[in-house]
């Protein structure tokens, strides 16, 4: 069952779906943050990346993963993040931390809790996933 997205209308729901698609791409076999970001530079949106993979000469296991893995699992992780007081920024958001924008392996979806607007160049740490109360999705845990 999918929880309701946060208040904010169609724009917020569309952004949450975009974030969920990014998370699914990050979980896909043979893709990782650098490759996903390169695909976004080339195709601009997660939807276009998925289409290129599905219609192109991509490995069959990648096509099967995207065709069979439910986006609802990833939507639930976005919603759960908000339920615990967190939020996220996407790689192309204007409020994505400037110091991370310089890193080619930066996370395309950055989950956080608190106010990140006043972070300076050396005030952000990336912490690996820890045990949470949500089920694991692929190789990564929900935030």
- Interval 92-101: pLDDT, tens: 888 888 888 8
Q: What is the pLDDT of residues 69-120, one digit of tens each?
A: 999 999 999 999 989 999 999 988 888 888 888 887 788 998 888 887 776 6
Q: Give the count of domains, the chain.
A: 1
- Please spell the DSSP secondary structure of the chain, one letter per residue: -PPPPPSSHHHHHHHHHHHHHHHHHHHSTT--HHHHHHHHHHHSSHHHHHHHHHHTT--HHHHHHHHHS-HHHHHHHHHHHHHTT-EEEETT-TTS-HHHHT-TT--SEEEESS--TT--TT----------SSPPBTTB---
Residue 2 confidence (pLDDT): 39
Is 140 a member of any domain? no
Alpha-carbon distances of 72 from 23, 43, 84, 105, rounded to whole Å: 11, 23, 18, 26
Is 120 a member of any domain? no
Contact 120, 58 (CB under 8 A): no
Is 101 a member of any domain? yes
Is 74 a member of any domain? yes
Is 31 a member of any domain? yes
Is 19 a member of any domain? yes
Residue 141 confidence (pLDDT): 46
List the domain range (segments joined by +) for residue 22: 9-112
**If you average pLDDT over residues 4-14, what whole number do you get?**
65
Is 121 a member of any domain? no
Is 122 a member of any domain? no
Residue 113 confidence (pLDDT): 86
């Amino acid at each position: 069952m999918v929880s309701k997205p946060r208040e904010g209308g169609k724009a917020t729901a569309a952004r949450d779906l975009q974030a969920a698609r990014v998370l699914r791409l990050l979980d896909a076999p043979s893709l990782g943050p650098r490759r996903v970001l390169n695909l976004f530079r080339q195709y601009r949106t997660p939807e276009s990346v998925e289409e290129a993979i599905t219609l192109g000469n991509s490995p069959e296991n990648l096509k099967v993963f995207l065709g069979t893995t439910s986006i609802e699992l990833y939507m639930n992780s976005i919603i759960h993040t908000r339920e615990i007081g967190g939020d996220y920024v996407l790689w192309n958001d204007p409020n994505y931390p400037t110091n991370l924008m310089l890193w080619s392996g930066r996370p395309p979806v950055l989950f956080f809790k608190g106010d990140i607007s006043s972070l300076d160049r050396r005030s952000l740490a990336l912490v690996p996933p820890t045990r949470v109360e949500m089920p694991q999705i692929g190789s990564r845990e929900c935030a």
